Amino acid sequence: MLTHQDNELLCRVGPGTPMGEVVRRFWVPAALTEELPENDGAPVRLRIFGEDLVAFRQTDGTVGLVANACPHRGASMFFGRNEENGLRCVYHGWKFDTEGNCTDMPNEPAESNFKHKIRIASYPAEEQGGVVWAYMGPADKKPRLPQMEWMLVPDSHRVISKCHQACNWVQAVEGGIDSSHISFLHSTLNMEQRAQRGGPTAMYTVRDRHPRFETVETDYGLMIAARRNAEEDSYYWRVTQCLMPWYTMIPGSTDLGQSIGGHAWIPIDDENNWRWSFNWRSSGPYTEAEVHTMKHNGTIHAEKLPGSYMPLRNMANDYMVDREKQRKETYSGIFGIGEQDTACQETMGHIYDRTKEHLGSADTAIIAYRRILQRMLRDLAAGVEPQSASAAESFRVLSTSVVLPRDRQWVESIQDRIKATSKYMPV
Report DSSP letters for 320-380, one per residue: G--HHHHHHTBSS----HHHHHHHHHHTT-SS--GGG----GGGHHHHHHHHHHHHHHHHH
Given a cut of 90, is residue 173 above it in pLDDT? yes
What are the tens digits of pLDDT across the range 353-399? 999 999 999 999 999 999 999 999 999 999 999 999 999 999 999 99
What are the tens digits of pLDDT across the range 193-229? 666 666 667 788 888 889 999 999 999 999 999 999 9
Structural domains in the chain, CATH included, are 28-134 (2.102.10.10), 149-413 (3.90.380.10)
User: Given this model, what pLDDT does residue 35 score?
Assistant: 98
Please tell me the distance from the alpha carbon of residue 124 to that of residue 296, in angstroms, as a whole number: 34
Enclosing H/E stretch for 241: strand 234-243
Q: Considering the chain, what percentage of its residues have pLDDT values greater than 90?
A: 88
Given a cut of 90, is residue 183 above it in pLDDT? no
Confidence band of 131 (pLDDT split at 50, 70, 90): very high
Cβ proximity of 248 and 240 under 8 Å = yes
With a threshold of 0.85, does the pTM exceed it? Answer: yes
User: Given this model, what pLDDT does residue 353 score?
Assistant: 96
Given a cut of 80, is residue 254 above it in pLDDT? no
User: Given this model, what pLDDT does residue 74 score?
Assistant: 97
Residue 42's contacts (CB-CB under 8 Å, 6 or more residues apart) are: 82
